[in-house]
Amino acid sequence: MFMCKDVVENIMGYIDCELDLQTLKELEKHTGDCPECMTFVNTYKRMLEITGKLKNKPFVTPEIRNRLKILLKSKVKPV
């Protein structure tokens, strides 16, 4: 019998469309009947949306870049 635990443990395969047909059917049937699991799946997807937004976050400021330049200069010793 498909349980909440099975939804949780198969969620990655579900999101990545990697489940076999039988498991997919059972997961969707259980989720359709179980509001806790439906909420779990929906919040899981929302969490992935949020973390996906972090990809384009800029990190390196002009100051950091400039300090890199200075460091490289300092490492070059006179011949």
Partner 1 sequence: MEIGFIKKLINVIVSNDNEQTTGISDDELVRRFTQLGDESSFEEIVNRYSDRIYGFALRITRNTSDAEEVFQEVFLTLTKKLHTFRGDSKFSSWLYRVTVNTSYMYLRSQKKHENNISLENYAPYDEKGTLMGRIMYKDWSSRPDIIIFNKEAVVIIEKAINELPESYRTVFHLRDIEGLSNEEVGNILEISIPAVKSRLHRARLFLRDKLSDYFYEWRR
Rounded to the nearest 10 degrees, the angle between the axes of helix 21-33 and helix 35-52 is 110
Q: Does 21 bind partner 1 (CB under 8 A)?
A: no
Which one of 12, 25, 29, 32 is in contact with partner 1 (CB under 8 A)?
12
Comparison of 21 and 70: residue with beta carbon closer to partner 1: 70
50 near partner 1 (CB under 8 A): yes
Structural contact between residues 5 and 34, judged by C-beta atoms closer than 8 angstroms: no
By CB under 8 A, tell whether 17 contacts partner 1. no
Q: Is 25 in the site for partner 1 (CB under 8 A)?
A: no
Nearer to partner 1, 7 or 27 (CB): 7
Residue by residue, DSSP assigns 35-53 as HHHHHHHHHHHHHHHHHHG
Q: Quickly count: other Cβ atoms within 10 Å of residue 49's Cβ.
A: 8
